[in-house]
Structure 1
Amino acid sequence: MIEAVKFWNEPNNKSHWDLELDPGWERFAEMVKLACVATYAENSALTRVLGGISPVDPSFLQRLQGLGVLDGVNAVAVHGFPLDWNHWQIDEWPARIAEIQAVTPLPVWVTEVGVSTFGAEEVQEWGLKRTAELLIGRVPSIHWYSLYDLPKAWPATTRHREAEGSSYYRHFHMGLLREDGSPKLAARIFANYTPAMGICQWFHFEDHRLDDAVRWLKRLGVRKLRTGLSWADSFRPGADAWFDRQMQALEDFDVTLTFCFTPEHRGLQPHHTSAPQVPEEYAEFCARMVRRYVGGGSASSGPGLPRADLLTASA
């Protein structure tokens, strides 16, 4: 059921990685290289994906290549929201993909792409159709963000909060379904693009939407699902029981599993975007999750062995 594991989320976005603590991404590189080696040791056939970058920045990938990170992954990922946040237009998607393909031979996945209904549901419906036209057949994996609107009582994962103005509130309107589970216009046509198009849906700790989400995903014909297991949540009481319940509920899908969020007490700063005090602890978490939910596997027909010098930064 686990199609791939993904290391972090939007590492070049300060809403997800503290760039003041790690302005050159050396700490991030060390952490991901350790995680690549640790997960390979658990299952050498499992596809390893670099956390989706946002903005789409080829120079950032060149920086990580120089630090040896791309030698340990089998694909890179990008995120794009040209109708809401990006400074480029939706028809530029092929050019954005080509920019990344020009700096790495690795497959390019689009693990978050979406359109909010902040202005109008018709905008999302049109954006879904146009996105499908531009991306299906161009990249090997696409995950639409997202199934549900973010509940208004929950904060969006961003460092800017309400200071962003309307940009912040768009975070709450990205779903095909409203907060109450009722479908929007785009939900009625999403099945036209499955299974080629998957969905990215983050589930919070003990998320009350999990069972309804599974029913909707199957109704929409979704096969590929991207979600996450939070390193920070792993320290909560009952974490393993919740992780087990989540993964059991999603067993019918091809899951890309994202490992993200630093526990406050294990970061250089007490925040989920912080580089960890001990990067090996993140790698150990990734390995434990692979051991628990994927098990062992042979590399005979799977991804190659990470280069031995991946661990140089940690030596």
Structure 2
Amino acid sequence: MIEAAMIWNEPNNKSHWDRELDPDWELFARMARLAGQAIRAENARVPRVLGGISPIDPVFIQKMAARGTLAEMEAVAVHGFPLDWNLWQIGEWPAKVAEIRAVTDLPVWVSEVGVSSFGAEEVQAWGLRRTAELLKGQAPRVHWYSLYDLPSTWEATTRHREAEGSSYYRHFYMGLLREDGSPKPSAEAFAEHGGFMGLCQWFHYQDHRLDDAVAWMKRLGVRYMRTGLSWADSFRPDALAWFDRQMEALRDFDVTVTFCFTPEHRGLAPHHTSPPQVAEEFAEFCASMIRRYAT
């Protein structure tokens, strides 16, 4: 069920890693290195991917190489949203991938790319088609974010303010499907590229959308997808039962599983973006999930 293991999500984005506690990513580099080693020891056939970076920053990749983290990886990944948040144009996608290729010999995945439909659903459909044109042949894996709009009653994960380019409201309009499950024009556009492009869809604990998501992904021709298994969620009641249900539901796809999110009681600070008190505990969580779902 697990095609690849991704270690963390957007580690160079303050919404996902606390830079005040780890200003130069030294703690992150060690944690990711230990996690890579633990995954390899458990199952060396599962490729290890450094969590997708956002912004796309070659210097961050060079720091990870200098600290030995990339020696434990078999690919690196980038995220980009040029029509919503990034300060570069959509036509620059090949150049952005090339920036990372220039500083590492590892394959470069695009593990999140998307366009919101906040301004107009037609813009999202155009952006999807243009993204597919630009990224074909540029990356071995391209995951469109996402299948579903974020429900309006949920909270988007960001620490950025509007003045920093957050456009918070756009987080809720990234799906091919509206909150009620009805398809947007971008769903038809995605189906045109379903063989080439995969999906990224995060499932919350006990997510009510799981079964419908599987049906839609099959309808859209999805072969591979990316989701997460949360270290923080592993401390919830019946966590393993939920993980089992999620992974069983996704068994017909090649799944890249992202391991991330620090339990509040195991962080240097009580927040899911905090470096852990004991990095080896995160590594053991990664190994235990590989042991359960990739052997």
TM-score range, shorter chain: over 0.9
Deviation at 1:166, TM superposition (A): 6.9
Distance, in Å, in 1 between the alignment partners of 2:274 and 2:115 is: 28
SS of structure 2 residue aligned to 1:4: strand
5 Å-filtered alignment, 1:6-45, equals: 6-45=6-45
Deviation at 1:215, TM superposition (A): 0.2
**For residue 288 of structure 2, what is the amino acid of its counterpart?**
R
**For residue 171 of structure 1, what is the amino acid of its counterpart?**
H
More displaced, 186-195 or 141-150? 186-195
Distance, in Å, in 2 between the alignment partners of 1:265 and 1:109 is: 32
Q: Is the 8 A contact 2:12 2:60 kept in 1?
A: yes
SS of structure 2 residue aligned to 1:189: helix
Q: What's 2:249 paired with? A: 249
Distance, in Å, in 2 between the alignment partners of 1:204 and 1:290 is: 20
Deviation at 1:136, TM superposition (A): 1.5
Ranked by relative contact order (alpha carbons within 8 Å, sequence separation 6 or more), the top structure is 1
Unmatched segments (≥5 aa) in structure 2: none
Structure 1's consecutive aligned runs of 4 or more residues displaced over 4 angstroms after TM superposition are 161-166
**For residue 154 of structure 2, what is the amino acid of its counterpart?**
W
Unmatched segments (≥5 aa) in structure 1: 296-315
Q: What's 1:55 paired with? A: 55
5 Å-filtered alignment, 1:75-154, equals: 75-154=75-154
Q: What's 1:233 paired with? A: 233
Pair 1:162–1:138, CA change in 2 (3 A): closer
Q: Is the 8 A contact 2:199 2:226 kept in 1?
A: yes
Verify: 1:190 aligned to 2:196, yes or no: no
Q: What's 1:306 paired with? A: none
Pair 1:174–1:226, CA change in 2 (3 A): same
SS of structure 1 residue aligned to 2:195: coil
Pair 1:49–1:118, CA change in 2 (3 A): same
Deviation at 1:137, TM superposition (A): 1.6
Pair 1:80–1:100, CA change in 2 (3 A): same
SS of structure 2 residue aligned to 1:257: strand
SS of structure 1 residue aligned to 2:286: helix
Deviation at 1:163, TM superposition (A): 7.3
Distance, in Å, in 2 between the alignment partners of 1:16 and 1:266 is: 16
Q: Is the 8 A contact 2:113 2:144 kept in 1?
A: yes
Distance, in Å, in 1 between the alignment partners of 2:254 and 2:268 is: 34
Q: Is the 8 A contact 2:160 2:166 kept in 1?
A: no
Q: What's 2:213 paired with? A: 213
Q: Is the 8 A contact 2:85 2:166 kept in 1?
A: no
Deviation at 1:189, TM superposition (A): 2.1
Distance, in Å, in 2 between the alignment partners of 1:162 and 1:96 is: 24
**For residue 53 of structure 1, what is the amino acid of its counterpart?**
I
Deviation at 1:160, TM superposition (A): 3.2
Distance, in Å, in 1 between the alignment partners of 2:240 and 2:46 is: 22
Q: Is the 8 A contact 2:52 2:111 kept in 1?
A: yes
Q: What's 1:305 paired with? A: none
**For residue 67 of structure 1, what is the amino acid of its counterpart?**
R
Q: What's 1:313 paired with? A: none
SS of structure 1 residue aligned to 2:256: strand
Pair 1:166–1:83, CA change in 2 (3 A): same
Identity score, percent: 74
SS of structure 2 residue aligned to 1:193: coil
Distance, in Å, in 2 between the alignment partners of 1:199 and 1:272 is: 24
Distance, in Å, in 2 between the alignment partners of 1:17 and 1:4 is: 22
Q: What's 1:67 paired with? A: 67
TM-score normalised per structure 2: 0.98
Deviation at 1:165, TM superposition (A): 8.1
Verify: 1:273 aligned to 2:273, yes or no: yes
Q: Is the 8 A contact 2:85 2:165 kept in 1?
A: no
Distance, in Å, in 2 between the alignment partners of 1:286 and 1:104 is: 24
How many residues of Structure 1 are paired with residues of Structure 2 in the alignment?
A: 295
Q: What's 1:301 paired with? A: none
